[in-house]
Structure 1
């Protein structure tokens, strides 16, 4: 049997927490979700099933773990120039990558919400403002793509409106 043919060892709560860089208490909450995979033995879960559940139900934490394992763009974000400026509307459209379980028309975060999130420091402060005397002149409050992408890849939070998905109702991505 070669190395890739070996089945991954079941993970305890502590290993799941380390893999997704969250508190063990968060993992305990996940395990109480009726859609979370059943343990393969007492207190241990199949890493592949957990990973599949995370991809569907907590894509921010899933992407974070993927990046730590060397995957460059796990969410399939667009390839944009690092310094391209995105307004609040486009920022909200990019956050849709963290909300795959929401209905299509609700995935993007409205621009007004992005500006509210900025004032409450839920998203990074805008990189550019009109009249900031930088070149090229900014026509609107905006964020560099590198800032937005970093925020998305660093997000390990569930969206406020979480919609759990089971294997029966979700398509394989």
Structure 2
């Protein structure tokens, strides 16, 4: 992926060895985490938890520990995140939110979109997700149950610049507000 901005630094890291990539986390004011997968793509519940909980938490922990000043963190989770859920996906997202809150960032934005609508071709097609998105769009519900990825990214960037203190949770409706 190529970026045309001097303000964006792209670092490729090995998530199984994040401690070897600490330089990628130093000297930044705002951290963004949008890492996530599905249980099917992960291959198992254990791998899903590793990718959706352990890796983001480790990244946030390293970012916070290396900061020489108060820093902000923007975390993408999901609508329905709930640490007490019986279901793996919302429970994992909820546990991650709680763990990142406990790290004590100066400002933390938690973003909980519903379905993510990709502009153009999705990197990897998912049959049932495609069916769900088609139904949502046919019924005209895309502005209530999901958000375009570009809108989520723009809201996260804006919040990263504007949030100054505490934890702010952005539900899907908040993400869609201008």
Same fold (TM over 0.5): no
Q: Provide TM-score, normalisation by structure 2.
A: 0.25
The answer to which structure, 1 or 2, has the higher relative contact order (CA under 8 A, 6+ apart) is: 1
Give me the TM-score of the superposition, normalised by structure 1. 0.25
Whichever structure has more helix as a proportion of its residues is 2
Max Rg structure = 1
Q: Which has the higher strand share?
A: 2
